[in-house]
Structure 1
């Protein structure tokens, strides 16, 4: 616990002070002039994959970062996490996810768009995309949908997996993060480079301590996973909270959300703060 508090104190200043580098990479901040004031209620929608989605109590402590995001936003900011486990930018649309968001999103709202994990499965015709052609084409549909409804789109590169070469964290997403950042520049959409930021955090933690953030459980440790599990892609509550902290910090420092909409960035938040519903949202 003491290590975790020290890590929060060291990590958050790095997230905050490096924000301008991503703003420069993404072009002009698209939401700065249109963002609602701190008193106006609005909704943050999340379109993404299993790393961001909501999990049920029977799957705890598995948690998506979108599920943890409300912990860092004011109570009058509503989060609607529409992320679908296993989805790519392509299949999310085919499954009706974007249409569902379009039926609810409105002026002053935000749409966080985070895909790549399953777009990389290029041998799967239902999900695979090419970074600089179809991936960008599908992402553009999300951007256009948000803007057509008066909402602000925000591109979020894929969170990194737990992958190390010795003690060095290494990237796993190929050209997809760069393709998303390039699209952000061309469409003047803010980009949160979660790939780079999460890899920096995994490097800070190292190979062993990252196991406390990913879904690593010993046999008999948790009744939901009686045989144990070693998952280097999905998070337990601690990891989801820390990734959500990074996203919330960037929403503030890149001036995407009003600064007063984001809070608790420096707080040590216990895993028990996560709410697991009885069933996954449909």
Structure 2
């Protein structure tokens, strides 16, 4: 039986097209990790916070389609911290309340919500080795708190991605983010140095973290994933 993963999030998750290539969202790459009977429904959009996503009717659209046994992956934080009225929420106020709305939509349909803290920004200190602290302020912790309160799984992508970016360093991680030279891509004729959005390599690598965490959760979450120990030439990817 076909199951679906609904993604709710921002530009780090969005399904992109040729107009912004090579920018790639995580929801765009996640299909590499799931079984063939899993369909991905990506509702993520650039610049959205929990507040603007709900306000524009995007959660309502998910509400109309999501069914029993589906999954709702909820990844926000980048834009809730923005100061404008259309998007801003307080981490331990409206942000948490909005996350509860997302969770309630999944639960009422018998679907499975999963909270995912925001991807860490690739911002190194002057030493070129350590990362700037708290690029998402209190929002990751606020999300973790809601997960604990409502017994909803939380994948702490913020902490895991920070670890990985620091581990591989400033040059390797540059290849994962939308750092492009002038003249190479028609969408960015003047080049771009973007430490928030991903290229395909980065979307793949951070999706791997999500897949690894789902495997650790076990049960219905692990069942979404390809059995890479058998089906892939890289058996180390998700091994126990």
TM-score of the two chains, using structure 1 as the length reference: 0.78
- How many Å separate the matches in 2 of 1:105 and 1:65? 20
Q: Which residue of 1 aligns with 2:173?
A: 210
Q: Which residue of 1 aligns with 2:142?
A: 179
Q: Aligned to 2:65, what secondary structure does the other structure show?
A: coil
Number of aligned residue pairs:
229
- Structure 1 segments of 4+ aligned residues over 4 angstroms from their partners: 264-269
Q: Which residue of 2 aligns with 1:111?
A: 72
Q: Is the 8 A contact 1:136 1:183 kept in 2?
A: yes
Q: Is the 8 A contact 1:245 1:265 kept in 2?
A: no
Q: Is the 8 A contact 1:169 1:206 kept in 2?
A: no
- How many Å separate the matches in 1 of 2:219 and 2:115? 11
Q: Aligned to 2:45, what secondary structure does the other structure show?
A: coil
Structure 2 residue runs of 5 or longer lacking an equivalent are: 235-240
Q: 1:202 to 1:77 in 2, by over 3 A?
A: same
Structure 1 residue runs of 5 or longer lacking an equivalent are: 1-39, 270-282
Pick one of 235, 247, 270 that aligns with 2:210.
247
* 2:16 pairs with 1:51: no
Q: Is the 8 A contact 1:72 1:263 kept in 2?
A: yes
- How many Å separate the matches in 2 of 1:215 and 1:263? 28
Query: Could you tell me how far 1:199 is from its partner in structure 2?
Result: 0.6
- How many Å separate the matches in 1 of 2:28 and 2:58? 17
- How many Å separate the matches in 2 of 1:74 and 1:57? 26
Superposition CA RMSD, Å: 1.6
- How many Å separate the matches in 1 of 2:219 and 2:48? 26
Query: Could you tell me how far 1:264 is from its partner in structure 2?
Result: 6.8
- How many Å separate the matches in 2 of 1:126 and 1:200? 32
